[in-house]
Structure 1
Amino acid sequence: MRVMHDALRPLPPLLLLGTIWGATPGFVKSLGAIGWPPLLIAACAAAGSALMLVLLCRMRGLALPLSRAHLRHYAVSGLTGLALANLVGFTALLHVPAGFFSLLVPLSPMLTVLGAALLGMERVTPRRILGTVLGLSGVLLAMAPGAALPDPAMLPWALFAALTPVCYAASNLMAVRLAPRDTPPLVLAAGTLTAGAIALAILAVVGGQIRAVPVQGVPVSALQAVAMAAAFMLYFRSLGAHGGVVTSQAGYIITITGIAWGWLLFDERPGWLTIPAALLVFAGLALVTLPGRRLSRSGA
């Protein structure tokens, strides 16, 4: 019973994290449809969520450390996991379906597993590799004809969007490698969001995307900021408790929830291949997150 409890412990936060992040394309496409430029969308959400977490830190009596190690962590995590990922992803989302974009995100777990193996950061077992392959197979199946990319003319933007999981994988790896010891996840999340918000604001100014926008988008942007703050708290808590490889598997959940959000919000109806694809995705998630002790005889 204790082994089963430990095995299932990572799943609830991963499911919640994937559900929240899966809604991101919905926010972006909703705001983009009324004229908000992508970098302004990202900068406003990051600034709002950073302010929330900084205030929460102060309420809990937590200071934001400014040592060289902490500043390096904030800068690298904020640049890769927030600024660059949102620059690519939010721009591409104005040209590809939300559901399709969600299908690309699980490339991040595969790249995270490969990167962790190359860097010697985690023991990557055959079972975890098999889980990653199954999850990736599910994503590729969902991208087949009759699935989620309706127009071949969108392919250049789809390829550009594929850079997003590269940024997420780099963030997964560097956030663990550079994380200062004994720093609460809430503090790391607040520092990362603050650094990312600054980087996004600079990019938005340089890109000429700071301008007046329709005010009816403000409530949507505020809700996005709340969701981003919650997601980053969950993300850093999971990184500290379960590591980068397991945490990266939230990308598979984003595939399913992103398709669901696209269906509910934009009537993007995926083809029947989504069902077997989803089964492969969740099979891969289970293989990666369940502990290897139960499969030790087979070398996992």
Structure 2
Amino acid sequence: MPRLLRNLAMMIAVGTLWGLTPAMGKLALAEGMRPLGVASISAAVAASVLFGVAFVRGQAPPMDRAHIRQYVAGGVVGLAFAHLFAFTGLQRVPAGLFALMVPLSGLFTMLFFALAGIERATAVRLIGSAVGMAGVALAMAPGAALPDPALLPWAAIMLLTPVCYAASNLFSVKFAVRGTPPLAQASGTVIFAALGAAVIAWPLGHIGLPPRAGIALLLLGQGIATAVAYMLYFRLLVNAGGVFTSQAAYVITLAGLFWGFLLFDEVPGWLTIPAASLIFGGVALVTLAPRPAR
């Protein structure tokens, strides 16, 4: 298979899997499980799979102070807190709306990098951010992906998820330890994400066993899907670079809308198409714009 087609196949697989996992979490929440309980179990499964693969390949995650700081910053913020906000919102709002929010992580990442002095925010990127946020505002309007304006506070909570993703991207750059294999970084990050989710979940009373075997299997599948997506993501990052890999956000959105329709009969309003177009356009302006010279 030509390299481009192989990379495209991996990007589609990553987007499809990451677009599916919130819908799987929503199914578990509908059975009475709590947000961080779902996150803890699925992250523990993903961590076990990733660590097993990394260990077999001789790339077990290092556990010195510098690496642990990287794992904690990326895992607790980028997974534990991100899943807390995502699953809290998904108890009330459609999974399709969450799918529309995922690409915003690229916009917030650009803003955070600019504030941290890592990259300069050009006029094109600022315009892209404004266009993307306009798309989110439109997605929450009547006739789009939010069926009831009374659910707006829950959607606002869910909007914190891409903020967490962006903060995790910033921490990954600031605290990255050079020379560590991507698989080792991924497994270490997910291990500490699982630990962080459990630590936060315990005092909130979110820890609990799945109510029945079917939900346990669902969470097992969610964790395995997360692990596979992470492995493909880091492989794609090495093979195709960051700009190409970032385009998986579009696939995540389309897949999330599809899974919401298939699993929950969610039929977004007609405004969803222009809203998605604005979000996609904003992300494209931010991610595809030339990097400013420093």
The TM-score by the shorter chain falls in which range? 0.7 to 0.9
State whether structure 2 residue 62 is matched by structure 1 residue 65.
yes
For residues 85 and 281 of structure 2, the distance between their equivalents in structure 1, rounded to whole angstroms, comes to: 29
For residues 233 and 123 of structure 1, the distance between their equivalents in structure 2, rounded to whole angstroms, comes to: 30
Q: What count of residue pairs does the alignment treat as equivalent? A: 289
1:41-94: per-residue Cα shift (whole Å, max 9, x none)?
111110001010111011111132112110100111111001111112112211
Q: Could you tell me how far 1:171 is from its partner in structure 2?
A: 0.6
For residues 11 and 120 of structure 2, the distance between their equivalents in structure 1, rounded to whole angstroms, comes to: 20
Report matched runs for 1:189-228 at 5 Å: 189-212=186-209, 213-228=211-226
Q: Could you tell me how far 1:139 is from its partner in structure 2?
A: 2.8
Look up the SS of the partner of 1:181 in the other structure: coil
Aligned residue for 1:175?
Answer: 172
Q: Could you tell me how far 1:183 is from its partner in structure 2?
A: 1.0
Look up the SS of the partner of 1:65 in the other structure: coil
For residues 113 and 244 of structure 2, the distance between their equivalents in structure 1, rounded to whole angstroms, comes to: 11
State whether structure 2 residue 101 is matched by structure 1 residue 122.
no
Assess, with a 3 A threshold, how the Cα gap between structure 1 residues 109 and 290 changes in structure 2: closer, same or farther: closer
Match of 1:89 among 66, 86, 91: 86
Aligned residue for 1:148?
Answer: 145
Look up the SS of the partner of 1:223 in the other structure: helix
Aligned residue for 1:98?
Answer: 95
Give the letter aligned to residue 218 of structure 1: A
Q: Could you tell me how far 1:17 is from its partner in structure 2?
A: 3.1
Assess, with a 3 A threshold, how the Cα gap between structure 1 residues 165 and 45 changes in structure 2: closer, same or farther: same
Q: Could you tell me how far 1:270 is from its partner in structure 2?
A: 0.5
For residues 274 and 154 of structure 2, the distance between their equivalents in structure 1, rounded to whole angstroms, comes to: 26
Q: Could you tell me how far 1:237 is from its partner in structure 2?
A: 4.9
Contact 2:19-2:99 within 8 A present in 1 as well: yes
Sequence identity of aligned pairs in percent?
52
Aligned residue for 1:77?
Answer: 74
**Higher mean C-alpha displacement, 189-198 vs 229-238:** 229-238
Match of 1:185 among 182, 190, 195: 182
Give the letter aligned to residue 76 of structure 2: L
Assess, with a 3 A threshold, how the Cα gap between structure 1 residues 90 and 235 changes in structure 2: closer, same or farther: same
Match of 1:276 among 265, 274, 277: 274
Give the letter aligned to residue 31 of structure 1: A
State whether structure 2 residue 20 is matched by structure 1 residue 38.
no
Q: Could you tell me how far 1:291 is from its partner in structure 2?
A: 6.3
Q: Could you tell me how far 1:124 is from its partner in structure 2?
A: 4.1
Contact 2:24-2:222 within 8 A present in 1 as well: yes
Assess, with a 3 A threshold, how the Cα gap between structure 1 residues 257 and 131 changes in structure 2: closer, same or farther: farther
Give the letter aligned to residue 231 of structure 1: A
Aligned residue for 2:252?
Answer: 254
**Higher mean C-alpha displacement, 193-202 vs 129-138:** 129-138
For residues 262 and 110 of structure 2, the distance between their equivalents in structure 1, rounded to whole angstroms, comes to: 32
For residues 6 and 123 of structure 2, the distance between their equivalents in structure 1, rounded to whole angstroms, comes to: 22
Q: Could you tell me how far 1:238 is from its partner in structure 2?
A: 5.9
Q: Could you tell me how far 1:239 is from its partner in structure 2?
A: 6.0
Assess, with a 3 A threshold, how the Cα gap between structure 1 residues 235 and 135 changes in structure 2: closer, same or farther: farther
For residues 248 and 132 of structure 1, the distance between their equivalents in structure 2, rounded to whole angstroms, comes to: 15
For residues 13 and 124 of structure 1, the distance between their equivalents in structure 2, rounded to whole angstroms, comes to: 30
Assess, with a 3 A threshold, how the Cα gap between structure 1 residues 172 and 246 changes in structure 2: closer, same or farther: farther
Q: Could you tell me how far 1:287 is from its partner in structure 2?
A: 3.5
Assess, with a 3 A threshold, how the Cα gap between structure 1 residues 67 and 109 changes in structure 2: closer, same or farther: same
Look up the SS of the partner of 1:140 in the other structure: helix
Query: Could you list the runs of 5+ residues in structure 2 that have no partner in the other structure?
Result: none
Look up the SS of the partner of 2:58 in the other structure: coil
Contact 1:256-1:278 within 8 A present in 2 as well: no
- TM-score computed with the length of structure 1 as normaliser: 0.84
Contact 1:176-1:239 within 8 A present in 2 as well: no
For residues 70 and 12 of structure 2, the distance between their equivalents in structure 1, rounded to whole angstroms, comes to: 26
**Higher mean C-alpha displacement, 49-58 vs 30-39:** 30-39
